[in-house]
Copies of this chain bind each other. A is one copy, B any other.
Amino acid sequence: MKICGFLQKNNSVDESGRILRSFKDGAAKNLLSCDNGDPRFRRTETDFSNLFARDLLPAKNGEEPSLQFLLEIVEILTNYVRKTFDRSTKVLDFHHPHQLLEGMEGFNLELSDQPESLEQILVDCRDTLKYGVRTGHPRFFNQLSTGLDIVGLAGEWLTSTANTNMFTYEIAPVFVLMEQLTLKKMREIVGWPDGEGDGIFSPGGAISNMYSVMIARYKFFPVVKTKGMAAAPRLILFTSEHSHYSIKKTSAALGFGTENLILLNTDESGRSQNLHLFIPFPWFQGYVPMYVNATAGTTVYGAFDPINEIADICEKHNMWLHVDGAWGGGLLMSRKHRHKLNGVERANSVTWNPHKMMGVPLQCSAILGLLQGCNSMCAGYLFQQDKQYDVTYDTGDKAIQCGRHVDIFKFWLMWKAKGTVGFEQHIDKCLELSAYLYHKIKNREGFEMVFNGEPQHTNVCFWYLPPSLRNLPDGKERRERLHKVAPKIKALMMESGTTMVGYQPQGNKVNFFRMVISNPAATRSDIDFLVDEIERLGNDL
């Protein structure tokens, strides 16, 4: 048996007999891939019970234990990846909070003063995954972000390893340039001439939407930056009642007040309407309508607001038009479906989350629009003007953050690997699947659609009526009982761990299921499975 080079090198003068023993024992038991062309990439069977974090790099002789520890982690992770895509595994192994807190089979969440061995750390990693939810599982449909893209995952691993920060070109030269090129490409796809404009990746769609309101305010009332909201008239914002709740959070946070956010009602399919009724309104007491959010792909119905109609009104009355395409923006990549966002090129700002419909790992959200000036404070310790390089690439001062996580790389890498056409195929496929589901259940006994017509996005909203409810006349009792069906089925679903789909009420509509498809692993058989599972679990309710 060969002893690998690294161990030999450290063999003689190793002051840490304990560490060496961990490897010698391993080597004696099993030694992997010494025939490897690259002598440095090999896994030995290491005794981690005798190793601690302090034995890893930068510790003396820390290289080999660090490598072995990371490879052991990679084994855990690749096993997890494999199982994620395996339909014979569960989506989750549900436990209540108190069960996990009490400690499942030795999985102790409490932190202590003394270190634990790396063996225990590896066990903790396995347990963390074991009791989690496989969001990449082909039958996980619970959120707008699903799936596990292998290239995206590799991108995230690299990002973590590079462990840097987006605020300056100085410490993130490549990532800063990737961000700029990718944002420009996105603006071109939105349809802004020559991809002109600006933008940034932010920590999620809610923050991107927050940026949109900040930059609108800065455009119309720059004085607010220095003098506060007291220096502006009372400003009115518009969004639809089906829009994402982040617009409301932003109204509260930025000092507008939620009462100054007018919720437009929607048509039956969830599309915003009646903005025109508000605008000629005699705006007394100095109220000024300033901002309209049009949603491209609402969270629950997947509806697309009529952007062109809204843009006409915004142009006429000098209001800011934001398009929240956090969920629907991905459709811009599809020649077949991008017409649903017609008019988006007239928006002043756009939110678009590649981590939703485009399958990019969390988090990856872009706000497109002119940010410069809005948030800048010119901190001297970061954004020195006397650096040796072109400091216009120091983009950090646009952000409300100081440090900013590198969200771009995985997206850039996926784009390289799939091409624009790869994203298009993924999106078209997801929409085909949702059409398949719609046609499968629209006339099926026990199923009732929440709104008529083929879904615009991949959202399919429906009630399941157990046989016991099917002959009840429409009325209070039926509504009350139906309201409880989806939560009950969902609870059973989570306990059996077979699939996951979301539910919620909306307006005066009692709890219904909202199926969404963004998972590249999902197939028609998974849709069939979901429908069967709902019937199986709900039949006796």
Q: Which residues of B contact A101 (CB under 8 A)?
A: 177
Interchain CB contact under 8 A, A380 and B161: no
Interfacial residues of chain A within 212-252, with CB under 8 A of chain B in the complex? 214, 224-231, 234, 244-246, 248-252
A230 and B225 form a contact (CB under 8 A): no
Residues of B within 8 A of A255 (CB): 224, 228-229, 254-256
Say whether A185 faces chain B, with CB atoms less than 8 Å apart: yes
Residues of B within 8 A of A100 (CB): 173-174, 177
**Can you report 8 residue pairs joining A to B where beta carbons are below 8 Å apart?**
A40-B79, A111-B415, A120-B416, A129-B158, A135-B165, A145-B163, A203-B404, A365-B403
Q: Is A305 an interface residue (CB 8 A)?
A: no
Report the separation of the CA atoms of residues A81 and B375 in the bound assembly, to the nearest whole angstrom: 36
Q: Does A352 contact B (CB under 8 A)?
A: no
Complex Cα spacing A158 to B85, Å: 17
Q: Are A254 and B253 in contact (CB under 8 A)?
A: yes
Which B residues touch A207, using CB under 8 A? 203, 400-401
Within 8 A of B (CB), among A488-502: 490-491, 494-495, 500, 502
> Would you call A464 an interface residue if the criterion is a C-beta within 8 Å of the partner chain's C-beta atoms?
no
Contact yes or no, A249 B377, CB < 8 A: yes
From B128, B153, B173, B244, give the contact of A402 (CB < 8 A): B244
Q: Is A315 an interface residue (CB 8 A)?
A: no
Q: Which partner residue on chain B sits nearest A487 by CB separation?
A: B386
Which of B145, B170, B230, B504 contacts A381 (CB under 8 A)? B504
CB distance from A47 to the nearest CB of B (A): 14
Residues of A38-82 whose CB lies within 8 A of B: 38, 40-43, 45, 52-54, 56-58, 62-63, 66-67, 69-71, 73-82
A372 at the interface (CB under 8 A from B): no
Judge if A121 is at the interface, Cβ distance under 8 Å.
yes
Contact yes or no, B419 A225, CB < 8 A: no
Interface locus among A288-296, A388-396, A441-449: A388-396
Interface residues on A, range: 35 or more
Cα–Cα, bound, A77→B210 (Å): 36
Does A384 belong to the interface (CB within 8 Å)? yes
CA distance A181 to B102 in the complex (A): 12
Given known A63-B85, A171-B142, A387-B491, contact A77–B402 (CB-CB < 8 A): no
Contact stretch, chosen from A28-36, A274-282, A450-458, A530-538 = A28-36
Does the CB pair B73–A71 fall under 8 Å?
no
Whether A386 pairs with B511 at a CB distance below 8 angstroms is: yes
Inter-chain CA distance A131–B355, complex, in Å, is 26
Q: Are B162 and A135 in contact (CB under 8 A)?
A: yes
Known pairs A53-B414, A115-B417 / 4 extra A-B pairs, C-beta < 8 Å: A37-B45, A114-B419, A128-B175, A224-B257
CA–CA, A386 to B216, complex, Å? 38
A5: Cβ under 8 A from any B Cβ? no
Partner of A253, one of B40, B94, B214, B380: B214
Q: Whole-angstrom distance between the alpha carbons of A57 and B150 in the complex?
A: 7
Q: Which residues of B contact A206 (CB under 8 A)?
A: 399-403
A89 within 8 A of partner (CB): no
Are A113 and B420 closer than 8 Å at their CB atoms?
yes
Q: How far is the CA of A248 from the CA of B300 in the complex (A)?
A: 37
Closest B residue, CB atoms, query A207: B401
Is A518 an interface residue when CB atoms closer than 8 A count as contact?
no
How many Å from the CB of A55 to the closest CB on chain B?
Answer: 10
Listed stretches A340-348, A405-413, A466-474; interface member: A405-413
Given known contacts A97-B177, A151-B53, A228-B234, A421 and B172 CB-to-CB distance under 8 angstroms: no
Given the complex of chains A and B, what is the CA–CA distance between A378 and B93 in angstroms?
27
Task: Give chain B nearest CB distance to A370 CB in angstroms.
Answer: 16
Q: Given A30-B37, A363-B405, verify A71-B70 contact (CB < 8 Å).
A: no
Q: Is A169 an interface residue (CB 8 A)?
A: yes
Residue A308 lies at the interface, judged by CB distance under 8 Å to chain B: no
Shortest Cβ distance from residue A506 to the other chain B in the assembled complex, whole angstroms: 7
Does residue A178 face the partner (Cβ distance < 8 Å to B)? yes
Most chain B CB neighbours (cut-off 10 Å) among A112, A145, A157? A157
Say yes or no: A112 contacts B78, CB within 8 Å: no
A13 within 8 Å of B (CB atoms) = no
Residues of chain B within 8 A (CB-CB) of A419 are 112-116
Q: Is A484 an interface residue (CB 8 A)?
A: yes
Q: Is the CB of A259 within 8 A of B390?
A: no
Closest B residue to A114 by CB, please name it.
B419
**Is A230 a contact partner of B257 (Cβ separation < 8 A)?**
yes
Enumerate chain B residues within 8 angstroms of A56, measured Cβ to Cβ. 150-151
A121 touching B74, Cβ below 8 Å: no
The smallest C-beta distance from A68 to any residue of chain B, in angstroms, reads: 10
Q: Is the CB of B37 within 8 A of A57?
A: no
Asked if A269 CB lies within 8 Å of chain B CBs, one says no
Compute how far the CA of A142 lies from the CA of B169 in the bound complex, rounded to whole angstroms: 13
Contact with B along A139-162 (1 / 0, CB 8 A): 000110100101101101111111
Residues of B within 8 A of A377 (CB): 245, 248-249, 252
B205 touches A231 (CB 8 A): no
- On chain B, the residues within 8 Å of A125 by CB distance are 154, 158, 413
